[in-house]
Amino acid sequence: MSNNYTWQEKYYFKIRDAFESSGYKPYRMRKFEEYSLYADNRSFLTSEYIITFTDTDGKLLALKPDVTLSILKNTKANENVTEKLYYKENVYRLDKHSGEYKEINQIGLECIGKLDTLNVIEIIELGLASLAATGKSYILDISDMGIINSLLEYYRVDELAKTAIFEQMSIKSKDELNKVAAEYGVNAELTDRLIRLLNAPSDYDAALKVLKAVSVTESMKEIADKFAIIKDVFDNTEYKGRLKLDFSVIDNTGYYNGVIMQGYVDGASKAVLHGGQYDKLVEKFGKNLSAMGFALYVDELRNIQEVKNEFVDVLLIYSGKSNYKEVLRLARELRENGESVRTDRSEPSGLLYGQKIIL
């Protein structure tokens, strides 16, 4: 692939090929949608602050803070048709730390329809492939929102206690979890099971044993069986050891209901991939379907790539007294012979080249 492509472009080409070879089709959207789409689903967004403006006809529009909502609004999926889409889009969100709006480059995919375990495995595999394409060491953590939800329902925990428990589980705070349990009068047996999940080893097999040991409902047992199938699928592949069970992986409890995942690469301080199953959000659009997808934060990935000096085969230095026609003729001749050529009036700082010609 040409040296003229940026790392970001090369990375996109790699994963685009992986997506398309799995039957995913490109999705394109405008930079803005009607504000009501985001206002009606504000709790699904990572930030409640949205950039808005009024169209010439008086309609209130918004710069897109999210792609998934647009896909659900326009999906052609139904009980008989599964839609598989991927995208490369910029979204606009408020940065919590700087207080400024940022343009964020995302690449992602969405699968919508009557999904089964095979669909879930395929999405996990594409998530792993996307992380592997960075060329860095990586890990994909997975869990299932049904694990904690099922436990809390079994022990009849009220909504306020549920919210507090989910928060402490997500930040892996065992001490705070114990405090919350005491404050809300949570069953000691439930607290013990939650802490055992929090303390589960990073090894997939060992974590799966913990899940099976704390399972008290058929739903939890089914999730454990599903994770066993997932492990078996990837055990003899290049992704062996790259998939981890982490029961603290929790996302928006109002929308996510099944498998969720977060991906990490060496050198990044936070997750660069977020995704999961969000059937509850699909229901808000009046569809009795399942959906799952993930998004990659390309700017985070780009920041960890080593800065590489630009290289050309020939650096062609000319002056104001040079014959421009001759400069262009020579450059064209060299390029026709397969050489990459840069013309410049002086040697650029940091440029690497195989040969320098001064005219």
CATH of the domain at 126: 3.30.930.10
Residue 249 phi/psi, 5-degree rounding, is -70, 110
Residue 30 resides in a domain = yes
Cβ atoms of 304 and 265 closer than 8 Å: yes
Instruction: Give which of 141, 136, 139 is closest to 7, Cα–Cα.
Output: 136
Cβ atoms of 5 and 123 closer than 8 Å: no
Residue 337 resides in a domain = yes
Residues 332 and 193 in one domain: no
How far are the Cα atoms of 49, 179, 334 from residue 191, in angstroms, in the given order? 36, 10, 72
Residue 260 resides in a domain = no
Residues 62 and 162 in one domain: no
Residues 23 and 133 in one domain: yes
> Whole-model pTM above 0.85?
no
- Give pLDDT tens digits along the chain (359 positions): 445 667 788 889 999 999 999 999 999 988 788 888 888 888 888 777 888 888 888 889 888 888 999 999 999 999 999 999 999 998 888 777 777 888 888 999 999 999 999 999 999 999 999 999 988 899 999 999 999 999 999 999 999 999 999 999 998 888 999 999 999 999 999 999 999 999 999 899 999 999 999 999 999 999 999 999 999 999 989 999 999 999 999 888 878 899 999 999 998 888 999 999 999 999 999 999 999 999 999 888 877 765 455 677 888 888 877 788 888 888 898 888 888 888 888 888 777 777 888 87
Pairing of strands 60-63, 52-54: antiparallel
Domain range for 176 is: 147-241
> Number of folded domains in the chain?
3
| Ramachandran bin of 113, using left for φ above 0, alpha for ψ from -120 to 50, beta for the remaining angles | left
Residues 202 and 216 in one domain: yes
Cβ atoms of 89 and 106 closer than 8 Å: yes
